[in-house]
Every structure is written in C-alpha cells, then in structure tokens.
Structure 1
C-alpha cells in the first residue's frame, strides 16, 4: 500500500511568508550593495573604450534621428510631433525589453554570490532593475533633447510622468523577479523571452500610432501590457495627461504581478540556489 501524502505543517506557509518579508526588507536595507553591483555592471561593459557609456547615447541618437525623420514621411505626420513620439517610444521599449531579457539572468548571472553566502534573493532583482534604469537614463538625454528641439519640453506633465515611472518601476521589479525565478528553473525561458520581445516590438505602438488601426485590430494594444505602460509614461512627455482608465489598468497589472510574485516566491525562493 502506498504511503499517504502528508499535509504540509499548518505553520509552513506562514513561515515562508515571514522569510519572504525578511528577504525583501534585507534587500532594501542593503541598497548600497545592489546599487554598487548594478553600477559596476554598467562600468564593466565599457571598460577600455574611448567614449564609455556615451556609446549608448550616440548609437540611440543616430537611429532615432535617421528613422524618426523617415518615419514622419512614411506615416505622414509632422516631424515635430512624430520624432518625439518615436523617440520616447523607442527608448522606453528598449528599457522594457532590457528589463525582461536581463531579468531572465537575474540569478544565473549572480550564481557566484548566491552559492557562497546567504544573500537576500530580491537584492539581485533590484540590481537588475537598477542596472537597466541607469542604462536607460543615458538614452533619456536624447528624449529631452528631442522634446526641446520640437518645443514640447515646456508642455511635459512632470507629475504624471514621475507617477507613471514609479508605477513602472514597481511593475518591473515584480516582472524581473518572476522571470528570473522561472528562467533559473527552466533555462529555455531566456531564449523564449528574446523571441517574444522581438515580436512584441511590432505589436507595441513604438513605430506606429494606435489611432491608425481599425477598431477590431486595436485589441492588440488593449491586451498588451507593454503598450499600456508605454503610453502611460509617454503621454505626459507628449503633453497629454494619461486617461484615468490607463492608471487603473496599470495598477491592476501591478496587483496581478504582485500576487504572482508573492505566491511564486513563497514556494520557490529557498530552491533558487539549488537550481543554479
């Protein structure tokens, strides 16, 4: 007769919840650690180069100006409107893509640390988010320059923009933690994420404007969380206040990601080191 499956101890789930809360609190307290590690990651990529991280700005600026002026002709929009629209969309989508792609390497890229000492797991999530944010800020200079050139810098809704960025950072932290744990257990996730982000570029309004789509085709935008956060952050930069429904939808996505993160990490947080 097979042995019956014994139920988990009544306090096991609560114990894991407390450990998760302690992990997050320890990671937040160790902000100097993950900020230093994230900054060192950026510096390491550009050691022994002449311009260093300025190459990010130069490459992005050349592409944005070249395609932005051509795209304005293709889509028949004024260059003073389309160039800021495309510039902000390109920089933000690159940021989202980097978060998800590099998020898959959150733990596998930090195995040397995790195998030696008991570091808080979420510290490496914050390291990835911080690194990607620093890299994005190099390109954010271009967005400001294009907004100034087009005369739109004075029309930016800075309060709405900062609120949208705060919501985006919270969603990014949950998303990086989720894909990081999944990719540690299933290594195919890293390859699949790269393919998914390439496809997402074409179904997210970076190059094109959603108003040009038919009503039936707009479901591509409505069901795309990347498009939701892209518009939420880009609209204030374009001088438009985001729709209240967009704020509610973004908060809903953050809530769902938070719930998934919570239950995932309660179950697998202690197993991450064994999967490396």
Structure 2
C-alpha cells in the first residue's frame, strides 16, 4: 500500500503518542480523583477485609496502637525520667503520625503488585489505586486519633488556636502520601527489591526519629548536645512529626519545620510527575 502524500508530494509526519507527556500524567491524577466513589469504596473494603470475622473489627487498629503507645510511653518515660503527663501524649502522637507515614510508604510500595487482577480487569486511571492507599491510611489515622482524645481528657494539654495547624499538617501528609505511593509504588512494581529495602529503611528511620525519645532531652546529655540536635534535624521525618505533633501538644512550631516539609513535598511531587510521565502506562505490564 502506497503512503499517503500531501499536495507537495511529501508524506505527512507520523503521528506520535502522547502517552509520555506531563499532560497525560496530570490527566490521570485528575481523572482518578474524580472517580472518588471507586477509591473510597476500595479503601473502606480493604479495612473491612483485613478485620473480617473479628469481634472488634477495625477497632483493633485503635487497640493495637493504643497498647503499644501507652506501654512504650510509660517504659521510656521511666527510663528517661520524663513527666508521664507530658511524655505519654508526646509518644502517643508520635506513634499515631508515624503510623500514617509508615502505612503510606509500605502499603503504597506494594499497591500495584498486590492488585494485579484488579488493575488488569478494571479500566481505571492508575491514580485510583494511589488515592485508595491514601484514603485507607486516613481511615487508620482516624481510628488512632481517638487514643489522643482519650489522653487529652486524662492529661489535659495547653491547647490554643494553634492546634488548628494540625489540619494543614494533615493536608501536607496526604500530599506526601500521594507522591510516595506514586514513586515507590510504580518503581517497586518494576524492581521488587525496592519494597524490601523500604521495609528495612522505615524500621531504621523509626529509631532515628524522636518518637519514643525526645529531641529536647538531648540538650541535657552533655557538651556535644548541639551537634546531636543538628544530626536529629538532618532527618526529614523529625520535621514532619513536629508540624503535626507540636500543635496538638500546645507547643510552638518553628517556621523552618514547615518550610522543610513544604520543600520535601515539592521535590517529591517533581519526582512523582516524572515517574507518572514515563512509567504510568507500563504498570499494567509490570504487575
């Protein structure tokens, strides 16, 4: 068959696919968000399936986190000679917010590989599964925050209007959960070792982050306290916890914590858009 030519006798330029464009990546994110009924249902179904046929059901989320947080708070409060009325809410909030971060990273890294059948059979934007993970993490967070509300009654905190800053902090958490799920989810679908590396890394970072210990306690541990504090501040997770935990403890959160988190969020979204642009269409073939 002869090629079609124009009036000048020159064959037209071949049509190129727009699958690898930022516009298609953004469209996937927008279309996925509009399918809220789907990912809201899938996320809630995940929670129900996890605790199917159990007596307490999803309340096991609250019980497990509460027992762990209270036990660790009392233990480390005694070891570090901390006031339990202050330290226990500190540790509890640390566990609650860290749980959101950990769930977003680890669950997000396997969201595509564990839903192979659904991805191949359901014609939906890739981002639907991303929002599903974030929604599921928010449900778990909502169950866990009940523990803090109980502690707030037992150990009242000096809360003011600054406590409302927890809402923009949660918004930043959700935005970070989206980009981490996109980046780690898609890349670990191609390279399965990434999921194992993330599990090890998250466990290591947990002990390096002031969750069961306080960064302020380092100021009384010797002359090199300032250098230790600087090492703590090199950990981005420290700043993520500060912007969310501080307001609920009635503490002032320095501006640089917010700037660091916002900067990390922007960098993460740049990486997410790059991954969406180049590898979004390949997920169905990699799972």
The normalised TM-score by structure 2 is 0.88
1:225-263 C-alpha deviation (Å, 9 max, x unpaired): 221111110000110132111111111011100101111
Write the mapping of 1:66-85 to structure 2, written as runs, cut at 5 A: 66-85=71-90
1:121-154 C-alpha deviation (Å, 9 max, x unpaired): 1110000111111112111100111122111174
Is this contact kept in 2: 1:156–1:237, CA < 8 A? no
1:12-43 C-alpha deviation (Å, 9 max, x unpaired): 67962221121111111101100000000000
Distance 1:155 1:75 in 2: 28
Q: 2:167 matched to which residue of 1?
A: 162
Distance 2:213 2:15 in 1: 53
Is this contact kept in 1: 2:239–2:258, CA < 8 A? no
C-alpha displacement of 1:10: 11
Q: 1:215 matched to which residue of 2?
A: 226
C-alpha displacement of 1:111: 1.4
In the alignment, does 2:150 pair up with 1:139? no
Q: 1:103 matched to which residue of 2?
A: 108
The normalised TM-score by structure 1 is 0.91
1:46-75 C-alpha deviation (Å, 9 max, x unpaired): 111111111121222222222222222211
1:77-111 C-alpha deviation (Å, 9 max, x unpaired): 11110001000001111221111111111111221
Per the alignment, in what secondary structure is the counterpart of residue 218 of structure 1?
helix
The structure with more radius of gyration: 2
Is this contact kept in 2: 1:86–1:206, CA < 8 A? yes
Q: 1:149 matched to which residue of 2?
A: 154
Is this contact kept in 2: 1:68–1:83, CA < 8 A? yes
Q: 1:237 matched to which residue of 2?
A: 248
Aligned residues: 268
CA 158–212 in structure 1, closer or farther in 2 if over 3 Å, else same: closer
C-alpha displacement of 1:118: 2.9
Is this contact kept in 1: 2:170–2:244, CA < 8 A? yes
1:192-221 C-alpha deviation (Å, 9 max, x unpaired): 111111111110000111123322223432
Please tell me the root mean square deviation across aligned C-alpha atoms, in Å: 1.9
C-alpha displacement of 1:177: 1.0
